[in-house]
Structure 1
């Protein structure tokens, strides 16, 4: 009975409870890639079901967020980091605010604004490759700002900053998992005062020390816990103090030096799913415990090299989780066992998948880098419903609000809805 209540608590309180229509962080209202509501379109193209489109001033790979009628996104303009607010219903620009000098990307998919913003009913938080972090109010005024690299040391990642800020009830949290000087830090939302900083230097070889993943905040039994994947480990931290509660190692038993991590973890039904090994493994971890729980809490490991995702993050709900691999293999697996329920390959071309899958109204939405979104049925077998092309280059994950889909290209954003 106690285990059942814990599972129910998790399913009801993953991340912060939000009003219908809000999309406060890059993985949605419950941090698991699941959209609220219904009535989302399943077919569109450049001449069908496009409600509005807006060109952006610069290129970026970040995913937008929504609170109320405000859509927030990050980009760059004229060498500056920029936060842009649009009316989600019309696409009309409400305001833009710049702060900090752009640091350009190294990789062709990288940019100075790959991290996605986060929002709540008072503030929007934006973080950039330059190390600049700022809290803005709903009118675009900077409440506080700081540069994490000036304070805590330079970025030592081999590639471009990818982790996004996450929110607890009263804190904004950033994870910096890199070659050395790895840490997690939390700031008071309203004041920017450092609440805590937790060192996270773990024994992983060379590039495996580097992580581009985003943490997950879960409220369990009334207490918020932060889960972090990277450096061959998953760690759980008390959200109010940053202190490590437990850790799971063994994600890289062969000690491969190039196992940097991009795909983030997902939590559902009392389990954390950890993608790893550059798409070569999945690990299911039962939540709970203290100390090193590798032997006691690793429920299963699934290794089918090349079939899982290196970049896209899984989505999970109702005892199942869904993966879209970089090459377009879509799989449905059981959360508690890791066993594949179904899987097949989407139509192939030379483009890969960087955006993460979203579950909405009984469907699975996955977007390829060339702007084509595939819609599949969320049932008991692989079933492709539609293929929806739009021109552009897509790294951001589509977001869903009040029956509309917002698909951001690197230089443009579309609002898709039924006409």
Structure 2
């Protein structure tokens, strides 16, 4: 009977969502691809702008469900789920998460409103690391909630993962400094179906559901690992180790294969400096510990508080060594996992991998976007490079993941540059770029030939004007 009910809920989800909806982080199935859509190639504050509306701060990506757009925000010390009209951007409702405590987060790099909502077309589920999961109907009425302790992540960076839906289940991978676990809840009631504890520490990735051999597997990236769990029981079925020490990216599916790419500082291609080297850069070598003033002279200045666990205003040799343990034991690489339930690796690639932006598979090619920016394009089937580490004129650093449609890949930078790259070429040809006055850290959405971009201050809708 339980399986029949689950099947009924899955069919309801399928029938409720419109084919063109963008219902979760990176759209349908988390692919980032809307190849039946024709969003504008040229756009900006004065070109092909349908509407623009101010939005509160937050790093979550917009989702589109029917005639509504939903995102999360953090304003005035409160966390909100906010709904806008797709036609004109008018705010329809906002719901206060009523978080008793806001999780620790990096003030410029992180956000307590970083997780993207997910919807089946009737219900929208929001996750906040500060307080847990909350379900609303599309009119903003709360349906249920799962209260969870305020999240504490390594270096107090903040939450990054987003919930997903499959077969009537809400699925959440919550890897923290301690008490990491994967949760499966009934979408209709919020009741817990299963919970699987994990040994892995902090991760920021959103999982994906992969059907291999007729069985559905929840694939969860973690620190130094990639793990598959049986969807309806939470039982671990396979694991791939020797992955990156920090997991920020989301896996993607290519035919019957699963592709994943992870990178973290401290790997073979990016050695962290020793404590003595950092002290010398800071001019603190005679003091013997890293001061806030000295750290400002190094690349780590913006992360001083995150690396000062006891908040005494100095980072000692012992604290530095303990912090570096979080980057140890990982191996930076992209992998293709064969179907068959064994976690067998088909191919590996280990150069110029992205840190935060998830890779994208588009028209049989696997694209990787690294800060710089550099773009690498691999044959998705074989892993062989078509081009590698090619310079792209499109900003510098990236938190938003690429999305693709109609032969183009859209990339958005923290400096506000949004660029359009021609897909299928032998080099990353930028056919158009525009720089917004404010940064873009949220992944864009593509629905009904319209490109939705959330910047640090506004939500934009762009479409070719007829």
TM-score (norm. length: structure 1)? 0.86
CA distance, structure 2, for counterparts of residue 38 and residue 210 of structure 1: 36
- Structure 2 counterparts to residues 337-416 of structure 1, below 5 A: 337-343=382-388, 344-347=390-393, 351-382=396-427, 383-416=429-462
Q: CA deviation at 1:263?
A: 1.7
Give the structure 1 partner of residue 348 of structure 2: 301
On the 8 A contact 2:37/2:447 being kept in 1, the answer is: no
Give the structure 1 partner of residue 43 of structure 2: 44
Q: Where does the alignment leave 5 or more consecutive residues of structure 2 unmatched?
A: 1-12, 266-331
- Larger mean CA deviation between 271-280 and 175-184 belongs to 271-280
Deviations 1:224-280 (A, max 9, x none): 32101112111111111111111111225xxxxxx2221222221222222123284
Name the CA shift for 1:415/1:185 in 2 (closer, same or farther; >3 Å). Answer: same
Name the CA shift for 1:174/1:348 in 2 (closer, same or farther; >3 Å). Answer: closer
Q: Say yes or no: does 1:22 pair with 2:14.
A: no
Q: CA deviation at 1:340?
A: 1.1
TM superposition outliers: structure 1 runs of 4+ over 4 Å:
15-18
CA distance, structure 2, for counterparts of residue 104 and residue 94 of structure 1: 30
On the 8 A contact 2:103/2:152 being kept in 1, the answer is: no
CA distance, structure 2, for counterparts of residue 39 and residue 188 of structure 1: 36
CA distance, structure 2, for counterparts of residue 126 and residue 38 of structure 1: 27
Give the structure 2 partner of residue 55 of structure 1: 54
Aligned length: 382
SS at match of 1:30: helix
CA distance, structure 2, for counterparts of residue 330 and residue 414 of structure 1: 26
CA distance, structure 2, for counterparts of residue 198 and residue 406 of structure 1: 36
Name the CA shift for 1:416/1:332 in 2 (closer, same or farther; >3 Å). Answer: same
Name the CA shift for 1:68/1:380 in 2 (closer, same or farther; >3 Å). Answer: same
CA distance, structure 2, for counterparts of residue 354 and residue 368 of structure 1: 7
Deviations 1:139-189 (A, max 9, x none): 100001122227xxx534332100000111211111112333221011111
Give the structure 1 partner of residue 278 of structure 2: none
Rg comparison, structure with higher value = 2
CA distance, structure 1, for counterparts of residue 168 and residue 35 of structure 2: 24
Name the CA shift for 1:31/1:136 in 2 (closer, same or farther; >3 Å). Answer: same
On the 8 A contact 2:438/2:456 being kept in 1, the answer is: yes
Give the structure 2 partner of residue 262 of structure 1: 248
Q: CA deviation at 1:82?
A: 0.5
SS at match of 1:311: coil
Give the structure 1 partner of residue 317 of structure 2: none
Give the structure 2 partner of residue 100 of structure 1: 98
Deviations 1:265-322 (A, max 9, x none): 22212222221232842122212224xx4xxx11122122xx2200100111343211
Give the structure 1 partner of residue 188 of structure 2: 190
On the 8 A contact 1:342/1:380 being kept in 2, the answer is: no
- Larger mean CA deviation between 399-408 and 226-235 belongs to 226-235
CA distance, structure 1, for counterparts of residue 191 and residue 46 of structure 2: 49
- Structure 2 counterparts to residues 127-276 of structure 1, below 5 A: 127-149=127-149, 154-158=151-155, 159-202=157-200, 209-220=201-212, 223-251=215-243, 259-276=245-262
Q: Say yes or no: does 1:120 pair with 2:120.
A: yes
CA distance, structure 2, for counterparts of residue 324 and residue 347 of structure 1: 12
Q: CA deviation at 1:222?
A: 5.1
Q: Say yes or no: does 1:289 pair with 2:345.
A: no
SS at match of 2:149: helix
Give the structure 1 partner of residue 274 of structure 2: none
CA distance, structure 2, for counterparts of residue 416 and residue 369 of structure 1: 19
Q: CA deviation at 1:195?
A: 0.6
CA distance, structure 2, for counterparts of residue 228 and residue 186 of structure 1: 13
SS at match of 1:100: coil
SS at match of 1:149: coil
Deviations 1:326-351 (A, max 9, x none): 222122211222211124211265x4
Give the structure 2 partner of residue 255 of structure 1: none
SS at match of 2:376: strand
Of residues 345, 348, 355 in structure 2, which corresponds to 1:310? Answer: 355
On the 8 A contact 2:40/2:449 being kept in 1, the answer is: yes
CA distance, structure 1, for counterparts of residue 40 and residue 104 of structure 2: 35
CA distance, structure 2, for counterparts of residue 89 and residue 346 of structure 1: 34
CA distance, structure 2, for counterparts of residue 69 and residue 220 of structure 1: 34
